């Protein structure tokens, strides 16, 4: 058969930002295999849409011709070389092919299972666990953690995983209750061979089980009555391909293997005018540094976006559990590492939620009361990274607010201690079982487009007035400071000043003459606790600032660089911003870092209740008045206001 016969038929695409279809992914892989003679040792780390230039997307009109391209990252296990490729699906050929030296692509999902099999087949590992009384390796759980970068000569250029292990009491047992402390198999993922087994001494297995599934939990509380979410007329949103329209919002839903959920081209219809706010928003990186210096744990510093790909780890969501109401799901398509098309059904959930009061006022003279219920559009995806679950939620509100929230749940990473020992760097959650303290540090990339592509960023602090202008001592005001260059725009939160940052279009004004803007309001936050000299700070310097601002560049996508896996550091935001480019009245990107410091508690075991963290984007003189004045009173048959 010819290549043309082998390639799947590609159907017409309605918009340049539509994700690659399964047929397009298969065609891209087939073209790469033929043109570059890719053999059995080749792995496809990424095959995703090569997004068109911003000006093409913003200028697109229905019926325009669309050029489709795929971007691929390819690893050859035999040569340990990494390549980037661009495939023109329109022309049916490879248009760019580049060797990327001295980098490691993310650890791929297939490598997880292959790594576990290699560890369980290793005689040195079997000897190590036998010392601990473990005779059935089939009950061992192996989590392939990234190895990081610690300047060790024998690790240079070797694609490594430093695997951590647990053991189940039976096939359905929660293995995280019994860590195999002190045993660390180090695996060459290119050769899929164990290169060494570190053994730092026998620590007894913790004695207690910690199961949480219906198989084990029998005494559920009996006093809960049903709580139904009813939308008899269906939802208020409409979906066309990956374009979503809801109330006055319009946006596109995207998905990549690395970032997971992506939001594109967000606009708000203001009295008939579709006003742009965001061009592209995504979780660009997240890092989880652990605070335990013991041999088993000091290298636990996961980059869940750059080292694993949060999109490849997305769950298939289920109606009635992850989302409630009238749901629309989006599937996600990508490849496994062997280039076969992989589908995650229901990877993204779209639905509406009631969110309490939108606004209310009672005129006490007339006793007339007006109240409006708030409704929000929810776009969400949930990923499982080994022991942890992360839920990623974008909320759009009727008053023009945008919220990003991460929900953290799942299983805390556990460690074992000797009987009677109380750990300094973590919390005992069961006898001889502790969870080390750690942080979850996120960075969201916000390609802003507030009323157009020319924006500036101001820092806003609430300041007390100077004494000479403050005779009664009560005066304070909002002080706005322009952040004109990249170095000026590297900032920290300051809750004592109610600090926020506003993204302004200096060329547009509202009815009162204020420049139109959106305000970034930080939520919970902290700084990384590792020393500046530590490996993790060098590799994830983005964590040291809560705000970074850069002029838009299509090549600047990830705050810790394109290939953080085993990198020495220095790439990404710290490298780009050395140029101290102007970010005034230009096409710019706002990078917001926010962190959750987690000192575990007994209540986090065996499954952690959800912790919430995120930020808000709120209109600030973007509108002439409250844009939700026209929201009608509640009309639900089940509402007391009816």
Domains and CATH numbers, the chain: 3-100 (3.10.450.40), 109-199 (3.10.450.40), 237-454+503-619 (2.70.98.20)
pLDDT at residue 634, rounded to an integer: 84
Question: pLDDT value at position 362?
Answer: 94
**Catalytic residue ranges:** 304, 388
Cβ-based neighbours of 602, under 8 Å, separated by 6 or more: 427, 429
Tokens matching residue 289:
């540094």
Q: Using DSSP, state whether 573 is helix, strand or coil.
A: helix
CA separation, residue 597 to residues 98, 210, 320, 439, 462 (Å): 40, 24, 31, 4, 26
Q: At what angle do helices 123-130 and 109-120 cross, to 10 degrees?
A: 70
Paired tokens of 199:
């053994």
Q: pLDDT tens-digit profile of 158-198?
A: 999 999 999 999 999 999 999 999 999 999 999 999 999 99
Contact 588, 414 (CB under 8 A): no
Query: DSSP secondary-structure letter at 290?
Result: B
Give the residue carrying structure tokens 């298969």.
Answer: 26
Given a cut of 70, the residues of the chain with pLDDT beneath it are 1-11, 319-320, 636-642
The pLDDT assigned to 229 comes to 85
User: Which residue from 119, 421, 408 is spatially nearest to 294, judged by alpha carbons?
Assistant: 421
| Per-residue model confidence (pLDDT) at position 642 | 45
Beta bridge partners of 578: none
Query: What span, in angstroms and rounded, lies between the C-alpha atoms of 456 and 454?
Result: 7
- Structure confidence at residue 11 (pLDDT): 61
What is residue 635's predicted lDDT score, i.e. its pLDDT?
Answer: 73
Matching residue, tokens 């620590």: 203
Residues 353-377 pLDDT 10s: 999 999 999 999 999 999 999 999 9
Q: What is the DSSP string of 104-162?
A: -PPPPHHHHHHHHHHHHT-HHHHHHHHTTT---GGGEEEEEEE------GGGTT--EEE
Spatial neighbors of 119 by CB under 8 A, at least 6 apart, are 125, 140, 142, 163, 165, 185, 187, 194
Q: Count the helix, strand and coil residues of the chain and give each as a percent rounded to the nearest 5.
A: 15, 40, 45
Residue 110's region, left for phi above 0, alpha for psi from -120 to 50, else beta, is alpha
Query: Are residues 301 and 288 in contact, defined by beta-carbon separation less than 8 angstroms?
Result: yes
């Amino acid at each position: 058969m010819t290549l043309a016969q082998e390639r799947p038929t590609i159907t017409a695409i309605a918009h340049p930002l539509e994700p690659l279809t399964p047929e397009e992914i298969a065609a891209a892989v087939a073209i790469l295999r033929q043109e570059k003679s890719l053999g059995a040792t080749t792995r496809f780390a990424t095959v995703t849409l090569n997004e068109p230039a911003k000006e093409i997307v913003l200028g697109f009109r229905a019926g325009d011709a669309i050029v489709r391209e795929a971007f691929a990252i390819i690893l050859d296990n035999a040569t340990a070389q990494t390549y980037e490729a661009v495939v023109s699906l329109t022309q049916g050929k490879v248009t760019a092919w580049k060797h990327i030296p001295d980098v490691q692509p993310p650890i791929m999902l297939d490598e997880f299972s292959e790594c576990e099999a290699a560890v369980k087949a290793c005689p040195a590992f079997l000897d190590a666990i036998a010392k601990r009384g473990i005779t059935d390796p089939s009950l061992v759980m192996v989590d392939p953690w990234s190895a990081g970068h610690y300047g060790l000569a024998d690790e240079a250029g070797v694609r490594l995983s430093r695997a951590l292990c647990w053991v189940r009491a039976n096939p359905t047992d929660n293995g995280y209750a019994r860590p195999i402390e002190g045993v660390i198999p180090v695996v060459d993922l290119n050769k899929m061979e164990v290169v060494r087994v570190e053994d730092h001494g026998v620590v007894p297995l913790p004695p207690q089980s910690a199961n949480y599934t219906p198989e084990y939990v029998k005494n559920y509380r009996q006093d809960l009555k049903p709580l139904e979410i009813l939308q008899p007329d269906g939802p208020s949103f409409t979906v066309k391909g990956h374009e979503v329209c809801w109330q006055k919002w319009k946006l596109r839903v995207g998905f990549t293997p690395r970032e997971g959920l992506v939001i594109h081209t967000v606009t708000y219809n203001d009295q008939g005018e579709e006003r742009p706010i965001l061009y592209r928003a995504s979780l660009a990186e997240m890092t989880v540094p652990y605070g335990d210096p013991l041999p088993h744990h000091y290298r636990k510093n996961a980059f869940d976006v750059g080292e694993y790909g949060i999109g490849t780890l997305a769950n298939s969501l289920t109606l009635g559990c992850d989302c409630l109401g009238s749901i629309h799901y989006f599937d996600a398509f990508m490849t496994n590492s062997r280039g076969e098309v992989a589908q995650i059904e229901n990877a993204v959930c779209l639905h509406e939620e009631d969110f309490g009061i939108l606004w209310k006022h009672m005129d006490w003279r007339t006793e007339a009361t007006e109240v409006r219920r708030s409704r929000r559009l929810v776009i969400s995806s949930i990923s499982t990274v080994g022991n942890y679950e992360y839920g990623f939620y974008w909320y759009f509100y009727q008053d023009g607010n945008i919220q990003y929230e991460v929900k953290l749940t799942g299983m805390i990473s556990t460690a074992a201690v000797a009987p009677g020992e109380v750990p300094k760097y973590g919390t005992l959650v069961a006898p001889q079982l502790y969870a080390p303290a750690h942080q979850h540090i996120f960075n969201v990339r916000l390609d802003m487009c507030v009323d157009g592509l020319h924006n500036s960023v101001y820092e806003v602090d609430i300041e007390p007035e100077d004494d000479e202008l403050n005779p009664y001592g009560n005066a304070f005001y909002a002080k706005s400071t322009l952040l004109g260059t990249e170095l000026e725009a590297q900032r920290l939160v300051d809750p004592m000043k109610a600090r926020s940052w506003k993204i302004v279009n200096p060329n547009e004004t509202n009815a009162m003459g204020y420049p139109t803007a959106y305000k970034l309001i930080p939520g919970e936050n902290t700084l990384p606790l590792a020393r500046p000299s530590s490996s993790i700070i060098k590799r994830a310097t983005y964590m040291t600032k809560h705000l970074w601002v850069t002029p838009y560049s299509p090549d600047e996508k990830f705050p810790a660089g394109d290939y953080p896996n085993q990198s020495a550091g220095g790439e990404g935001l710290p490298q780009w911003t050395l140029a101290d480019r102007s970010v005034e009245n230009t096409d710019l990107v706002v990078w917001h870092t926010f962190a959750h410091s987690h000192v575990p508690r007994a209540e986090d075991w065996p499954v952690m209740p959800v912790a919430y963290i995120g930020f808000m984007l709120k209109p600030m003189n973007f509108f002439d008045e409250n844009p939700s004045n026209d929201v009608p009173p509640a009309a639900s048959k089940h509402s007391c206001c009816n």
